[in-house]
Structure 1
Amino acid sequence: MSDLQTTPSQTVGPFFAIGLPWEDGPFVVAQDSPDAFRVVGKVLDGDGAPVPDALVEVWQADPEGRFAHPDDPRGPLARMDFRGFGRSATDESGRFWFHTVKPGALPCDDGEEAPHLNVSVFCRGMLVRLVTRIYFPDEPGNDQDPVLVSLPDPARRGTLIAEAAPYGYRFDIHLQGDDETVFFDL
Structure 2
Amino acid sequence: MPMLQTPSQTVGPYFAYGLTPEQYLYDFKSLSNNVLANPLDEANVVNVVGKVFDGNGDVIPDAMIEIWDTQHQRFGRFGTGTDPQNRFIFHTFKPTSVDGQAPHLSVIVFMRGQLIHSYTRIYFEDEVELNAQDEILSTVPVDRRDTLIASKNAAGYEFNIYMQGEKETVFFEI
The answer to whether the aligner puts 1:97 opposite 2:89 as a matched pair is yes
Superposed, 1:21-170 pairs within 5 Å as: 21=20, 22-35=30-43, 36-61=45-70, 66-68=71-73, 84-91=74-81, 93-107=85-99, 112-139=100-127, 140-152=129-141, 154-170=142-158
CA RMSD of aligned residues (A): 1.9
CA distance in 1, matches of 2:118, 2:86: 16
Identity score, percent: 47
CA contact (8 A) 1:40 1:95 kept: yes
Pair 14,163 (structure 1): closer, same or farther in 2 beyond 3 Å: farther
2:164 corresponding residue in structure 1: 176
**Post-superposition shift, 1:183?**
0.3
Unaligned stretches of 5+ residues in structure 2:
1-8, 21-29
Unaligned stretches of 5+ residues in structure 1:
1-9, 69-83
- Greater CA radius of gyration, 1 or 2? 1
CA contact (8 A) 2:162 2:168 kept: yes
Runs of 4+ in 1 over 6 A off after TM superposition: none
Q: What SS class does the counterpart of residue 163 from structure 1 fall into?
A: strand
Pair 86,157 (structure 1): closer, same or farther in 2 beyond 3 Å: same
CA distance in 1, matches of 2:90, 2:171: 20
25-34 vs 142-151, greater mean Cα deviation: 25-34
Note the alpha carbon deviations across 1:24-68, whole angstroms, 9 max, x for none.
Answer: 40011124333222100000000010101110000013xxxx342
1:78 corresponding residue in structure 2: none
CA distance in 2, matches of 1:12, 1:26: 19
Note the alpha carbon deviations across 1:1-41, whole angstroms, 9 max, x for none.
Answer: xxxxxxxxx97514332243553400111243332221000
Aligned length: 153
CA distance in 1, matches of 2:106, 2:10: 26
Pair 87,67 (structure 1): closer, same or farther in 2 beyond 3 Å: same
- The TM-score normalised by the length of structure 1 is 0.76
CA contact (8 A) 1:28 1:85 kept: yes
CA distance in 1, matches of 2:90, 2:124: 14
